[in-house]
Amino acid sequence: MRAVVLLLLVAAASAKVYERCELARTLKAAGMDGHKGVSLADWVCLSQWESSYNTRATNRNTDGSTDYGIFQINSKWWCIDGKTKEAKNGCNINCSALLTDNIQTAITCAKRVVEDPKWMTAWVAWNKHCAGKDLSRYLAGCRL
Ligand SMILES: *[C@@H]1O[C@H](CO)[C@@H](O)[C@H](O)[C@H]1NC(C)=O
């Protein structure tokens, strides 16, 4: 039992939680600003409300699929986790690759998701907290 607790502590300690402006700079460098009409502020807002900038965030959905990582990408459509029925694996990756400190794989997958812009609305928290709102505070004070 003690070993289990220790392991959990180690896992928690190594989860990278991005600082808001650090994330904005990383996304900008990866060409996310304006990609398919989605602004940098939209991606930062989405990450704030979907994962609180935590690269290890996972959340189980009522349909049995799971959302993974900083953008909470769904295992039904975009990655394989071995426990989601009829998974499509649109990004052709193991879902665990969406939970790493380095978010380049998550960024590549998010770009693929919005290849069809209607998918943006699949992010429930983005719809609720970001769509059509003044998002200037998500980039405020960032050296971009
Ligand atoms: C995904 O990666 C994890 C960790 O490396 C591994 O344990 C798991 O078997 C892989 N799952 C699939 C479906 O490939």
pLDDT of residue 15: 84
pLDDT of residue 12: 55
Domains of the chain in start order, with CATH, are 20-138 (1.10.530.10)
**DSSP 8-state assignment for residue 18:** -
Residues 6+ apart with CB under 8 A from 43: 27, 32, 71, 110
pLDDT of residue 26: 98
Question: Is residue 61 lining ligand 1, measured as CB closer than 6 Å?
Answer: no
Question: Is residue 82 lining ligand 1, measured as CB closer than 6 Å?
Answer: yes
pTM: 0.89
Q: Which residues are catalytic?
A: 50, 67
Q: What is the distance in A from the centroid of ligand 1 to the CA of 79?
A: 11
**Ligand 1, from 85, 93, 96, 100: best to mutate by most atoms within 8 Å of Cβ?**
96
Encoded tokens for 46: 């989405």
CA triple 92-97-102, angle to 5 deg: 125
* Count of beta carbons in the 10 Å neighbourhood of residue 68: 28
The CB-based long-range contact list for 130-135 (8 Å cut-off, 24+ gap) reads 130/42, 130/45, 130/46, 130/49, 133/45, 135/39, 135/41, 135/42, 135/44, 135/45
pLDDT of residue 117: 87
Question: Is residue 100 lining ligand 1, measured as CB closer than 6 Å?
Answer: no
pLDDT of residue 9: 54
Element (H, E) at 100: none
Q: What is the pLDDT of residues 7-23, one digit of tens each?
A: 555 555 568 999 999 99
Nearest CA to ligand 1 atom 3: 96
Contact in structure between 130 and 46 (CB atoms under 8 Å): yes
Encoded tokens for 48: 């704030």
pLDDT of residue 29: 98
Residue 114, SS3?
Answer: coil
Question: Is residue 125 lining ligand 1, measured as CB closer than 6 Å?
Answer: no
The low-confidence residues of the chain, meaning pLDDT below 70, are: 1-14
